[in-house]
Structure 1
Amino acid sequence: MSAALSLEEAQARLLALAPALAPEACAVEQALGRYLAADLSAARTQPPADLSAMDGYALGGQGPWQRMGESRAGAPFAGSLSTGQCVRISTGAHLPHGADRVLLQEDAHLAGDTISTDQDPAAGSHVRARGFDFREGDRLLVRGTAMTPARIALVLAAGHGQVSVARPARIAILDTGDELASDPAHCAPHQIPASNGGMLAAMLAPLGCEVIRLGPIGDDHAALAAALSQAESADILITSGGASVGDHDLVQDALTRWGAQIAFWRIAIKPGKPMMVATRGAQVVLGLPGNPVSCFVTAFLFALPLVRAAMGAAAPLPRRHALVAGEALPAVGKRREFLRAVLGPDGARLSGSQDSSALASLAAADCLIDRPADSPALPAGSTITGFLLHNG
């Protein structure tokens, strides 16, 4: 039996197998969570003219100033200003030709249409100069960038109604095991509710994938073969359970009969050691462990990066963060461990039981502490590293 792979080696080998999905045009407002298939440059200049950053008066030359009219956002003053002239101006409105600064309304002294001040603002005060944000032709985002709400706003402001992104990945999810009940409200004493499939689908949802749910399927060759036949069009098949080599672990054999070839399996991490990777033509298969926490951790570290890579992400792996141990951490054995933890004012504290079946502590966790193999015990306050699980 081959040695278990390190996390980094397994991730590199998996990402090298990622299918390349064809690009397609997508409305910008529908592109959340997807990745640019090409660099994107500005089609317009922002701001398109010198704008006021505050409510007040746009000034021409030295004062006092005679008010000549008004410039509002969307309705600019049509004329130009000479020395000693000004216009009332609102935030976001165009500065008239001849104006070079804005006097705040609270600093202005009004006497009819004559405006004066105790301190003349310097040139450029309270002005958003034309093009200070970006100019037409500027490269704003590079290929492989994730479309976030702020980037959607940027792309729209840059004059684009569509972007080129990879088409959504087609993901088939198959959870297996005789013990799984499809209806959580009607679960016999010898069963447990099937939860991995719903969890995996929820993890994939922010990426905009097309998800096909298969199962739960019992430990039966014919049933597994029938389920696999429904995954023919999937770019990626994710299974949970049955991927090891026990008497009732049939997934590897079923995949081989289906025409898949095992690329590697067994990763030197805890939880998640029995994860398996296979290929079938351009399809990639991930066999995740059946225990729900092991399933979640391997999906976080492998399945999500694979899907991101297939959809064109430039940086598909989860981002590592420096953390502080909020409590003493025990020594680690021969396998690298990922501990569920909660971030608090004093650092990261374990969220509860670290058993690979304990969902309550997973649900409470907002980060995973990464503890390398053979690490010594650490006191509270030590610097550690880990991954944030969500932003909420």
Structure 2
Amino acid sequence: MSLPSVETARATMLSAIVPLAAQAVSLTEADGCWLAEPVTAGRDQPPYDASAMDGWAVRGADVRPGARLKIIGESAAGHNAGVSLQPGQAARIFTGAALPAGGDRVVIQEEAARDGETVVLAAAPDAPAWVRPQGCDFRAGAVLLEAGTRLNPWRLALAASAGRATVTCRRRPVVALLSTGDELVAPGTPAGPHQIYDACAPALAAFVRRCGGTVVHLGPARDDDASILAAIDAGAFDLLVTVGGASVGDHDRVKPAVRSVGGSLSVEGVAVRPGKPVWFALLADGRPLLGLPGNPASALVCAELFLWPLIAALQGGSTNLAPDRARLHGPLAPNGPREHYMRAIIEPDADGVRRVRPMTDQDSSLVTVMAAANGLLRRLPGADGLADGAEVEVLVPIR
């Protein structure tokens, strides 16, 4: 049986996802959430003609070197001068303050000198106006952020500037992590001579949080159906991620256990390296399950390729996984029959050219290699060998 490509497998998985319900979220809690409704401006920003500098509010017709204007008031941010400028008059003004009625220019303080109750201008008539017109940032009724946008600190600032205390976002998905394997023990607990520490669970938990989800730990579970099903039954979640037990050996029990309780598998392996055993199913109640291989590199590479898009889709969003470009550092042998994501180091060379250097050993069990890498070099199935300096595709993981 031929295995689907990464793109085909991902599309199959995403077609089964139903976005979660929307709810109001305070701006202080909304970083990383996806908007379910657009954010619309309730008024102009700024809501008045505002000074862009400290200086003097004046009438443009009065601006010329040597002009002497009578000072009639002061305008500071949040405090209008309460005056109307007539010919020959000026008001002291500060950055962000509203221009007094009748004023249409600001002469910066470096181009003026106060002399008692008057100010003498040095600015030329064609000097900058130093005014931020009403609505120059956005107008009332404008859509500032579309539904499906992922919020970040910059976009939260935009929502706040529109006066929004809350935004309507999809609920953060609860992602359950279930590591499986008789050989696994949790870090910090005693390990037997033939056991290893569970490196995937804390790494994937951090990954889920960076994608906007919340984490529930269900494992590790033993390599038997009863232990696996008991762990699944104990969890309340929107997406289940199992780690390990995904291959075809006698001790790989996760898929048989899921099938035994009515789970339906739609992806049973992907033509990718590392991560060929990755799989996807819907549990009997319709909740999605992503099965990741147990080796840390396989699990985390497949988290980038599949888990991140699934978490986004549950929140009504989508991810841009289009590869970037870099120049190869050193030659590269031809690729095999599967799409290969090589752990690599991406950094600029002495000339500032972005270079990518694949790690020498790509064994998917090597945690030291994975920790040293800061990117992935993507190779298509059957790709030819490449010379030093060739342009290649790279993927920068979530960090």
Q: TM-score, normalised by structure 1?
A: 0.94
Relative to structure 1, the CA distance from residue 381 to residue 68 in structure 2 (aligned partners, 3 Å threshold; closer, same or farther) is: farther
- Contact 1:35–1:145 at 8 Å: present in 2 too? yes
Which residue number in structure 1 is paired with residue 252 of structure 2?
249
* CA deviation string 1:197-250 (max 9, x = no partner): 11111101134423210111121222112112113x322110010011111111
In 2, Cα distance between equivalents of 1:9 and 1:352: 29
How many residue pairs align between the two structures? 388
After superposition, residues 138-177 of structure 1 pair within 5 angstroms as 138-177=142-181
- 1:106 CA drift (Å): 1.2
- Contact 1:19–1:282 at 8 Å: present in 2 too? no
| Partner SS for 1:4 | coil
Letter in 2 for 1:375: A
Letter in 1 for 2:368: A
| Partner SS for 1:224 | helix
* CA deviation string 1:68-114 (max 9, x = no partner): 22111111211111122111111111111111111111121332232
In 2, Cα distance between equivalents of 1:349 and 1:167: 39
- Contact 1:328–1:380 at 8 Å: present in 2 too? yes
Which residue number in structure 2 is paired with residue 84 of structure 1?
88
| Partner SS for 2:218 | strand
In 2, Cα distance between equivalents of 1:171 and 1:309: 13
Counterpart selection for 2:388 from 373, 380, 388: 380
- Contact 1:180–1:194 at 8 Å: present in 2 too? yes
Letter in 1 for 2:300: F
- 1:321 CA drift (Å): 1.8
In 2, Cα distance between equivalents of 1:353 and 1:219: 29
Relative to structure 1, the CA distance from residue 158 to residue 4 in structure 2 (aligned partners, 3 Å threshold; closer, same or farther) is: same
* CA deviation string 1:355-389 (max 9, x = no partner): 10111222222221111111122223222222212
| Partner SS for 2:219 | strand
In 2, Cα distance between equivalents of 1:322 and 1:207: 23
- Contact 2:175–2:238 at 8 Å: present in 1 too? yes
Letter in 2 for 1:133: D
Letter in 2 for 1:385: E
Which residue number in structure 2 is paired with residue 15 of structure 1?
14
- 1:317 CA drift (Å): 4.3
Letter in 1 for 2:380: P
Relative to structure 1, the CA distance from residue 367 to residue 69 in structure 2 (aligned partners, 3 Å threshold; closer, same or farther) is: same
Runs of 4+ in structure 1 over 3 Å off: 121-124
Which residue number in structure 2 is paired with residue 58 of structure 1?
57
Which residue number in structure 1 is paired with residue 277 of structure 2?
274
**CA RMSD between the two structures:** 1.7
Pairing 1:116–2:151 present: no
- Contact 2:212–2:311 at 8 Å: present in 1 too? no
Which residue number in structure 2 is paired with residue 3 of structure 1?
2
Counterpart selection for 1:365 from 368, 373, 391: 373
- 1:119 CA drift (Å): 3.0
After superposition, residues 70-219 of structure 1 pair within 5 angstroms as 70-122=74-126, 125-219=129-223
- Contact 1:228–1:258 at 8 Å: present in 2 too? no
In 1, Cα distance between equivalents of 2:390 and 2:129: 48
Letter in 2 for 1:48: P
Letter in 2 for 1:71: S
Relative to structure 1, the CA distance from residue 341 to residue 113 in structure 2 (aligned partners, 3 Å threshold; closer, same or farther) is: farther
Pairing 1:310–2:318 present: no
Relative to structure 1, the CA distance from residue 64 to residue 381 in structure 2 (aligned partners, 3 Å threshold; closer, same or farther) is: farther
Query: Which segment drifts farther, 216-225 or 244-253?
Result: 216-225
Structure 2: 5+ residue stretches without partners: 350-354
Structure 1: 5+ residue stretches without partners: none
- Contact 1:49–1:130 at 8 Å: present in 2 too? yes
| Partner SS for 1:282 | coil
- 1:131 CA drift (Å): 0.5
In 1, Cα distance between equivalents of 2:358 and 2:119: 64
- Contact 2:112–2:123 at 8 Å: present in 1 too? no
Which residue number in structure 2 is paired with residue 29 of structure 1?
28
